[in-house]
Structure 1
Amino acid sequence: MSFTSAESRWADVHLAAAGRAISVCGDLLAATTLALVLQQAGHGGFAVSGLLVAASLPITLLAAPAGRLVDRADSRTLLVVVGLAQAVVCLALAFVTQPVLIVALVALLSCGLAVTQPTLSALLPGMVHSDDLARASGIVQTAGLFGMLVAPALAGILVGQTGPRVPLLLDAASYLALVAVGLLIRTRRGRVAGAPAVEVTFRMRAHRQLLVMTGAVAAVVAGVSAINVFEVFFIRETLGASTTVYGFVMASWAGGMLIGGLGFGRFPRRLITVRTVLVLLALSCAAVLAAATVPAAGWLIPLWIVGGFANGALNVCTTVMIANRVAAEAHGRAFSIYGAAVQGAGLAGLILAGPLAEQFEPRVLVAGAGLLGLLAALACVPLVRREPPAALSAGRPAEIPDNVAG
């Protein structure tokens, strides 16, 4: 239903994985660099919060039109055109110093991510057979995690040794790699030349399990997203770590995600449920809550590995659940809506994080973020009910499918 009927195209999966590794490394390299630049320049929580809001708001606001575009336009054209535009924006970021211009360019870059992220996510189910989706998702997630593992440490070293321009130029080059991947991947979706138009009506509320999953993840993200603002001050000022140590601590979360992505890549499909998602969310939040008690930055590394493990496993679970329950022609909208809900929830946390960072100690704020996330995960438990076994074993939506026309 949502997958290719032929044999899995592992060459395309590996190309997508390579592209994700390079682009994620570039993105996180730029994000870590810009956060350090603002912190070193004396800008407080409002500036870092504004930076993160700019990276999230366009993805939330553009979810509906971006999802329709992803489902209708040729995926190759989208990846090439948008990738080139993002490379130009990153090139400009390397030469600006004003915080307002930095935030504006980051927002523009995020407009491109609103298109490329669901495009790559929607392509994956078309590359493989349904039985191989968890494994393929694990490969792509793992590749991205290699990028995440390298980027923070590399950013800390490069900023300390060469300044911010070099890592930002590397980010621009990463988008050119994404363009190359778009040209090389054989799997295509959307309205390619000569293909008939197929329209599928998609409504998230018609898929109860996806609705509960999206609400649970969004609720937790709303509680813990503020940690992205607090942690630079917590690690650098409260715990007194250097930029290099800060980079390695950040990389430890990616290391945990790497383990989680690999482990859940071969997880039985019948066990990937909303209950599994809630357990992973609670584990991640518990690690953040425990982090508020550490006396030195080194203690954060094992906790961040645990939290990252849950995060990496969660990414595989959500990808498999969406792909299994939504028609292929609506994958772009489904991934866009899910991403927008999570980004919107994170945005709410980031908006509150700025003023909170100016008023309270970072350690207190880290504890509060972990506690709120854990309570949000527990609050979603009563909403979960057992899924029909037949729907899971067949890989079909548990609810009545949307009408298909065209």
Structure 2
Amino acid sequence: MLLGARAISYAGDTLSMVALMLHVATSTGQALAVAALLLAGDFVPSLVAPFAGALADRFDRRRLMIGCELVQALAVLVIALSLPPVWLLLVLVAARAVAGQVFQPASRAAVPSLVPPEGLVAGNARLGLVTNIAELAGPLLAAALLPGLGTRGVLAVDAASFVVSAALLTGLPHLAPVEKAEVESLWKGARTGLGYLARHRTVRIIALGFCAVVLCTGVDDVALVVLAKEGLHTNDSVAALLLGAVGFGLTAGYALLSKAGNHLGMTVLLVAGFAVSSAGNLLTGAFAHVTWAVAAVFAMQAGRGLGIAAIDVASNTLLQRLVPDALLGRVFANLYGAVGASAALSYVLGGLLLDATDAPTTLIVAGAGGLLAALVTAVALARRVD
């Protein structure tokens, strides 16, 4: 049920974001407005991550997820009916994204209650697989539906997808936290989650390593667009193919881990994911000037996708095994909130580097920084004492 709900919701969400980006770009003609839309959807939710996690640890997670899906459906429906001015659109997109931010830690924390301990790796891999396929399908659905339905129609489809997702989630059992958390205010609950993340050495190393890698490499998609258009002089179709290469790697990585992940150590898999995803960027920059550069870039970015899949499955599984259930929602929320903030900072710093140098140099620097972060994380995890 959770797999089906996530697939439908992710596909609809990606579909509507494509429609909204095109709508904002067309109606305003301003790149800044499109950037603000992306920030409202990606960065704003990270600001409320500690509180989102506290909610996930306080209430029945099934009911919370259903409520979040319905809130998102309502927000998207209002946008579809009104197509409001940009300032109000940003508010509504941010509201939808905040509801999604509450959903995410609840869904990740629910996995150990839905699968046996030996099935955690496969369960996390399958969840990643269906959501990645759904995200890949979103732009394709947008291309197919926009000509006939228009922006309003596509947004209505997204609103309906959230309702369908909520209906599927009603088939889950009750998912109240296994360990009853101390009754405390939302503010104190958020502080407790942050405090646990700071005190638990292994969890802290995982979080810091994850954020460091993202800080170094988050700019890669921006650099890849510049590389494809200005460095390799490709057309839009080839540029899109290169951007989609990581999706192929993600799909392959999740599929492999769903079958063979139980035979791997999660700590090793996490560090390997950090290293492989970073090396993919470094080698993309290094091979940018060879005669077969397009094929090389595609292969390296697909390899980056394999590394990202490893990071996702390993980090989720490690935290589900290490963190008490009563704190699991908060740890997930704080981790991914920090990762989102690291990505936003990477866009800024990486953009400055990109303007000062070029795309191959930016990718090489980003990859080298990620590899260094992977090495430091490996050493810290080897020396950890909890």
Classify the TM-score, shorter chain: 0.7 to 0.9
Residue 212 (structure 1) shift:
0.8
| In structure 2, C-alpha distance between the alignment counterparts of 1:250 and 1:156, rounded to whole Å | 17
Query: Is the helix fraction higher in 1 or 2?
Result: 2
CA contact (8 A) 2:279 2:368 kept: yes
Whether 1:341 and 2:328 are equivalent positions in the alignment is no
CA shift, 1:269, in A, is 6.3
Q: Is residue 2:189 matched to residue 1:206?
A: no
Shift in Å, 1:17: 0.9
| CA shift in 2, pair 1:170/1:225, >3 Å | farther
Counterpart of 1:262? 255
Asked if 1:90 is matched to 2:76, the reply is yes
Q: 2: CA distance between counterparts of 1:92 and 1:233?
A: 36
Higher mean C-alpha displacement, 260-269 vs 143-152: 260-269
Counterpart contact for 1:288–1:366, Cα < 8 Å: yes
Matched, 1:143 2:143: no
Q: Calculate percent identity across the aligned residue pairs.
A: 26
State the match for 1:3 in structure 2: none
Deviates more, 1:135-144 or 1:74-83: 74-83
State how 1:6-405 maps to structure 2 within 5 Å: 15-35=1-21, 43-44=30-31, 46-94=32-80, 96=83, 99-156=86-143, 164-190=151-177, 197-199=180-182, 203-235=196-228, 239-242=233-236, 245-265=238-258, 266-268=260-262, 271-273=265-267, 275-292=268-285, 293-294=287-288, 300-352=297-349, 361-362=358-359, 364-385=361-382, 399=386
Superposed CA offset, 1:299-340 (max 9, x none): 543222211111112111111100111112221112112112
What do the CA deviations read for 1:215-264 (whole angstroms, capped 9, x no partner)? 1110011112223444455545664433x555544443222112212222
What does residue 4 of structure 1 align with?
none
Return the offset for 1:144.
1.1
Q: Is the 8 A contact 1:63 1:336 kept in 2?
A: yes
SS of 1:189's equivalent in the other structure is coil
Q: Which moved more, 1:89-98 or 1:253-262?
A: 89-98
Scaled by the length of structure 2, the TM-score of the pair is 0.82
Instruction: Flag the 1:305–1:354 CA change in 2: closer, same or farther, 3 A.
Output: closer
User: Quick one: which amino acid aligns to residue 262 of structure 2?
Assistant: P
Displacement of 1:75: 1.8
Which segment drifts farther, 206-215 or 300-309? 300-309
Alignment gaps of 5+ in structure 2: 184-191
- The alignment yields a C-alpha RMSD, in angstroms, of 3.3
What is the rounded CA distance, in whole Å, between the counterparts of 2:230 and 2:85 in structure 1? 24
Structure 1 residues 386 and 380, CA gap change in structure 2 (3 angstroms): closer
Give the Å deviation of 1:61.
Answer: 1.6
Q: Deviations over 1:122-159 (max 9, x none)?
A: 11101122111111112211111221232234445556
Aligned residues, how many?
Answer: 368
Counterpart of 2:43 in 1: which secondary structure?
helix
TM-score (norm 1): 0.78
Give the distance between the partners of 2:151 and 2:275, measured in 1 at CA. Answer: 36
Please list every run of 5 or more consecutive structure 1 residues that lacks an aligned counterpart in the other structure: 1-14, 388-397, 400-406
